[in-house]
Amino acid sequence: MISPLRAVAISPLRVLKISPLRVSAIANKEVRQLRRDRLTFGMIVGIPMLQMMLFGYAINTDVRHLRAAVADLAGTQRSRLLVADAEASQVVDVVRRVESAEQLEALLRAGEIHIGLFIPADFERRVQGAVRVPAQLLVDGSDPLVLQSARGLAALPVAGTPRRQAEIGDTFAVRAYYNPERRSEVQIIPGLIGVILTMTMVLFTAVAVVRERERGNLELLITTPVRTIELMIGKIVPYVAIGLVQVTLVLVVGSALFRVPIRGSLLDAYLAALAFIIASLSFGLLISTFARNQFQAAQMTIFFLLPSILLSGFMFPFDGMPRAAQIIAEALPLTHFVRLIRGVVLRGASLTEIGADFLPLAIFFAVTLSVALLRFRKRLD
Amino acid sequence: MNDAPAIEATNLTRRFGALTAVDHVTMVVPRAQIYGFLGPNGSGKSTTIRMLCGLLEPSEGEARVLGLEVPRDAEALRTRIGYMTQRFSLYEDLTVRENLEFIGEVYSIPRRSRRERVDELLAQYELADRAGQYAGTMSGGQRQRLALAAAVLHRPELLFLDEPTSAVDPQSRRDFWESLFALCDAGTTILVSTHYMDEAERCHALAILDSGVLVATGSPRRLMDEIPETVVEIEGDDLRAARAVLDDVDAVASVAQLGTRLHALVEPGLDEPALRLRQHLAAAGVAARVERVAASLEDVFVSATRERRAP
């Protein structure tokens, strides 16, 4: 006798004419193929692990250890205590001591610090009288999370005052630079250029080379006098132009539609973009020497894109990340590009101030291209 | 210099891990000839061609191609050889003319002569009215003509063709071979691999490859004349039964079906082979017409590859 349960379980399959055998045949085949596709198989484990590491360890919206500089014009015991208290809060790490507000501004523009603590010469008087806020925080407003942390710092109590803190109000007046209205699109859009370029440039080149291999074009090319380096440069050049068009598009739409200010020189912005594009393209070439087909090239691009977006400082402040994540981030070209482009576009910095971030891009380019060339040669044999 | 053979290979060997794809191949290809590589898939034809082009490092042995040492002088060789890959390897999303222009640029042919050469080839290979068509939308025969035009664009002295006709209809194959003879008459040396007997028969000289080993060389005529076995042809209604009988005859080295006939290779030394086989078949009650015939190239192929397989 057939149990009623069994009859119920089978009937929908009957109605739909689904054969469990055929379904399991397909499923088994799929699992078998998956096991042989090491990359996809690896990503099943790799993606969740990577995401957990990034969000669990690296990404920290409760930002601490922001690089800061102090201009203590008062130089009293109370002012020194205030700076020590600010450091003790772990929100800031004082890395520089300077003599004036102008110097703080210069450091901010160069991207060396995110926060400047300005303690005026009449600090003691201000603490006594309730008329004016005793000190100032000069904050890099191009990152909203930094700004948010700075606001937490503003209410830091001043030690040993005769009056109660409530009477004084905030110890620091927060002055947000570069994005005083705190519009997130202003902060996002310059960095977005980098995210878009990472996505397109890496994928385009990787796919362009892999496609030639898939279609057999490469087999023909290697019998001609075309040299590997010529092939690679020839592949890269059109995409450099495409990348620059994308940069222009984001800048034009960003300033027209989202009123993103372009404070620095356009030439500097394009130079930074050019360096980043070339670095991304050479990484695409490197991927192409590993990927067996276009799908794998796309998978590997995603694998690279994820940490780039999350660790580069595009979404979360670099200073808030643990040391290990920072080391990884330093190796990613997007980190350096985000610094460059925000410096130029939002803070109006010149390349002489922030040009140091070109060097890692150049090293990244040289290393990935050399490895790509070596591996490419090997594949012909 | 020009009297030297186009290709001289000595003990050319290539191993891929445990597999020996090409095993001590020694061969000489004279100039201005069509030289055929005959062998089944996986016999090492493509690997040998790739080594001769300088694309693959030999594990052992050496080769001189057009007087140049490969793979050492591979770069210098590139401009003097043409290579047509087994698979269509031009760009399917470029037009016929764009493909040829591209190849011309790759070989650094100056603009003016490039244009002339492309027009010349379009006319010669009957592609002129398709010049603007995407290569990917063309038929097998048209693609093959385009691939040949691309391979000879820079007027190579030596042309490697790796199974060039595997995806085309018989008429296209005939036309294609006419083109090869025309190139050969103009002085081009052609090395062509194939697994079609009728194509192999058109070559001036042949090398038969089996599992990476060169098992026979010579002109098709000579190979057929000098086959060691006697070829006996059996025609009848029940070939399966006839075959079962012949398989049990010791003197019969192999039996292969060719259409509606059987070809039996009979060991040399057996007197009156046709008569003997006829007796065997009659004894088994199989009605068949048995006749001694001249060897075909297929018989040569079976004979040559059999010797290696025999224990």
The pLDDT of residue A3 is above 60: no
Q: Give A33-56 pLDDT, tens digit per residue.
A: 777 777 777 777 777 777 777 776
Are A224 and B108 an interchain contact pair (Cβ–Cβ within 8 Å)? Answer: no
Q: How far is B151 from chain A (nearest CA, A)?
A: 9
Q: How far is B56 from chain A (nearest CA, A)?
A: 5
SS3 A100: coil
Task: Write the CA distances from A14 to A2, A18, A199, integer angstroms.
Answer: 16, 6, 46
Cα separation, B155 vs A311, in Å, equals 55
> Residue A165: what pLDDT?
58
Average pLDDT over residues A291-314: 89
Lowest mean pLDDT among A171-175, A369-373, B97-101: A171-175
Q: Which residue of A has its CA nearest to B90?
A: A217
> Residue A43: what pLDDT?
73
Are A223 and B108 an interchain contact pair (Cβ–Cβ within 8 Å)? Answer: no
SS3 A358: helix
Which chain B residues have a beta carbon less than 8 Å from that of A217? 89-91
Q: Give B103-135 pLDDT, tens digit per residue.
A: 999 999 999 999 999 999 999 999 999 999 999
Contact of A180 with A172, CB cutoff 8 Å: no
The pLDDT of residue A22 is above 60: yes
pLDDT confidence bin for A267, thresholds 50/70/90: very high
- Angle at A297 (CA atoms; ends A293, A303), nearest 5 degrees: 145
Q: Which residues contact A14 (CB under 8 A, 6 or more apart)?
A: none
The residue ranges of every structural domain in chain A are: 66-177, 184-380
Q: Which helix (H) or strand (E) is B257 found in, with range?
A: strand B252-258
| Interface test with chain B among A214, A218, A220, by most B beta carbons within 10 Å | A220
Cα separation, B43 vs B47, in Å, equals 9
pLDDT confidence bin for B137, thresholds 50/70/90: very high
> Residue A130: what pLDDT?
62
Q: Which residue of B has its CA nearest to A216?
A: B89
> Residue A90: what pLDDT?
85
> Residue A153: what pLDDT?
83
Share of chain B above pLDDT 90, in %: 61
Q: β-pairing, B81-84 with B158-162?
A: parallel
Which chain A residues have a beta carbon less than 8 Å from that of B150? 220
CATH class of A66-177: alpha beta
Q: Give A191-212 pLDDT, tens digit per residue.
A: 888 998 998 889 888 888 888 8
Average pLDDT over residues B15-39: 93
State whether residue A216 sits within 8 Å of chain B by CB.
yes
* B56, B57, B87: residue with CB nearest A216: B87
**DSSP code string of A305-347:** HHHHHHHSSSSS-GGGS-HHHHHHHHHSHHHHHHHHHHHHHTT
Please count the other Cβ atoms lying within 10 Å of the Cβ belonging to residue A222: 20
* A217, A226, A380: residue with CB nearest B55: A380
Q: How far is B159 from chain A (nearest CA, A)?
A: 12
Lowest mean pLDDT among A303-317, B50-64, B204-218: A303-317
pLDDT confidence bin for B311, thresholds 50/70/90: very low
State whether residue A222 sits within 8 Å of chain B by CB.
yes
Average pLDDT, chain A: 84
**Residues belonging to chain B with any Cβ–Cβ distance to chain A shorter than 8 Å:** 53, 55-57, 75, 78-79, 81, 83, 85, 87-92, 103, 106-108, 150
pLDDT confidence bin for A8, thresholds 50/70/90: low
Q: Give A111-153 pLDDT, tens digit per residue.
A: 889 899 999 998 888 887 766 788 888 988 877 778 878 888 8
* A222, A225, A226: residue with CB nearest B55: A222
Q: Which residue of A has its CA nearest to B51?
A: A381
**DSSP code string of A267-301:** HHHHHHHHHHHHHHHHHHHHHHHH-SSHHHHHHHH
B227 or A166, greater pLDDT: B227
Q: β-pairing, B34-38 with B81-84?
A: unpaired
The secondary structure of B174-206, three-state, reads HHHHHHHHHHHHCCCEEEEEECCHHHHHHCCEE
pLDDT confidence bin for B308, thresholds 50/70/90: low
> Residue A1: what pLDDT?
47
State whether residue A378 sits within 8 Å of chain B by CB.
no
- Any idea which residue has 């096991």 for tokens? A35
User: Would the ipTM clear 0.90, i.e. be above it?
Assistant: no
Q: Which residues contact B166 (CB under 8 A, 6 or more apart)?
A: B86
Q: How far is B201 from chain A (nearest CA, A)?
A: 28
Average pLDDT, chain B: 90
Q: How far is A230 from chain B (nearest CA, A)?
A: 10
Average pLDDT over residues A154-176: 71
- Please name the amino acid found at residue A269: A
Average pLDDT over residues B18-26: 93
Q: β-pairing, B189-194 with B158-162?
A: parallel
| Interface test with chain A among B73, B78, B166, by most A beta carbons within 10 Å | B78
Please count the other Cβ atoms lying within 10 Å of the Cβ belonging to residue B179: 17
Q: How far is B89 from chain A (nearest CA, A)?
A: 5
> Residue A226: what pLDDT?
85
* A226, A380, A381: residue with CB nearest B106: A226
Give all domains of chain B, ordered by start, each with its CATH number: 7-223 (3.40.50.300), 228-294 (3.30.70.100)
Q: Which residues contact A16 (CB under 8 A, 6 or more apart)?
A: none
A and B: number of Cβ contacts within 8 A: 42
The pLDDT of residue B310 is above 70: no
**DSSP code string of B41-56:** TTSSHHHHHHHHHTSS
Of B147, B126, B125, B128, nearest to B136 by C-alpha is B147
Are B106 and A217 an interchain contact pair (Cβ–Cβ within 8 Å)? Answer: no
> Residue A97: what pLDDT?
93
> Residue B309: what pLDDT?
55
Q: Please state the separation of Cα A64 from the chain's center in Å.
A: 18
State whether residue A221 sits within 8 Å of chain B by CB.
yes
Cα separation, A28 vs A49, in Å, equals 26
Contact of A283 with A237, CB cutoff 8 Å: no
Q: Which helix (H) or strand (E) is A232 found in, with range?
A: helix A228-257
The pLDDT of residue A287 is above 70: yes
Contact of A191 with A343, CB cutoff 8 Å: no
- Any idea which residue has 């009848």 for tokens? B236
* B57, B87, B106: residue with CB nearest A224: B106
Tokens representing A313 are 């400082």
Are A216 and B107 an interchain contact pair (Cβ–Cβ within 8 Å)? Answer: no
| Interface test with chain B among A211, A212, A223, A231, by most B beta carbons within 10 Å | A223
Which chain B residues have a beta carbon less than 8 Å from that of A211? none
How many residues comprise chain B? 311
Q: How far is B210 from chain A (nearest CA, A)?
A: 23
The pLDDT of residue B264 is above 50: yes
Q: How far is A376 from chain B (nearest CA, A)?
A: 13
Q: Please state the separation of Cα B199 from the chain's center in Å.
A: 7
Are A223 and B78 an interchain contact pair (Cβ–Cβ within 8 Å)? Answer: yes
Cα separation, A155 vs B186, in Å, equals 93
Are A225 and B91 an interchain contact pair (Cβ–Cβ within 8 Å)? Answer: no
State whether residue A223 sits within 8 Å of chain B by CB.
yes
Which chain A residues have a beta carbon less than 8 Å from that of B53? 223
